[in-house]
Amino acid sequence: DQQVKQNSPSLSVQEGRISILNCDYTNSMFDYFLWYKKYPAEGPTFLISISSIKDKNEDGRFTVFLNKSAKHLSLHIVPSQPGDSAVYFCAAFTGNTPLVFGKGTRLSVIA
């Protein structure tokens, strides 16, 4: 039973446009959420995070939004660049527990 779900396996976006990656979770106890980015033949790298006490966190072109009532978070990339093409993983945790990862969404930014 998946506690963190990324329902879109892939997404294609035109360069310069906004990319929106979505993530849903089932465990209402999760209190911290992270996004990781993974290039081929490399390990995932941390991108951005958000605590459950916030509803938005921004870092340059990347913004994460959290909707606790809907148990939903999203990652917005504006503007999208070809170098953003990668697999994006959503992760969450509560208390002193390890991260729970979604299965990932492959983003392709087309020039």
Partner 1 sequence: DAGVIQSPRHEVTEMGQEVTLRCKPISGHDYLFWYRQTMMRGLELLIYFNNNVPIDDSGMPEDRFSAKMPNASFSTLKIQPSEPRDSAVYFCASSLAVVLAKNIQYFGAGTRLSVL
Interface residue list for partner 1 (CB under 8 A): 32, 34, 36, 41-46, 49, 51, 89, 93, 95-104
- Which H or E run includes 36? strand 32-38
State which residue, 25 or 89, has the beta carbon closest to partner 1. Answer: 89
Contact (CB, 8 A) for 52 and 68: yes
Q: How far is the CB of 102 from partner 1 (least distance, A)?
A: 7
Residues 36 and 106: their CA atoms lie apart, in Å, by 12
Question: In b/e form, how buried is each residue of 7-18, taking b as 16+ CB within 10 angstroms?
Answer: eeeebebeeeee
Q: How far is the CB of 14 from partner 1 (least distance, A)?
A: 27
Q: How far is the CB of 44 from partner 1 (least distance, A)?
A: 5
State which residue, 20 or 99, has the beta carbon closest to partner 1. Answer: 99
